Amino acid sequence: MNKTISVSTEYLFPSRTIEILEIQSFKESKQVYVYNYEGNHFRYFDSLIGLLQFFELGIEPKIAFETENELDEFLTNQF
């Protein structure tokens, strides 16, 4: 099971944030980015480049969630 640590939360608007998370397992760790759109839609990015492409070019990520519980379950099973 993974441990998820919140590194930073950037507020774009009061109801839109970018969360920088560190996901840790026993042997590995990685930093990921989650764009939270009004608590109704969560877009997951495993790189800063993917996040920038979303905002600059409108390229949707391959992984997105409708609820925070779905996101949390995904994060705990990343490695």
Give me the pLDDT at residue 78, please: 82
Mean per-residue pLDDT for 1-24?
95
- CA–CA separation, 48 and 56 (whole Å): 12
**Degrees to nearest 5, angle at CA 77 with 10 and 55:** 30
Give me the pLDDT at residue 18, please: 98
**pTM of structure:** 0.92
Report pLDDT digits (tens) over 26-48. Answer: 889 999 999 999 999 999 999 99
Report pLDDT digits (tens) over 47-59. Answer: 999 999 999 999 9
Give me the pLDDT at residue 27, please: 87
Tell me which residue range forms the domain holding 51. 3-76
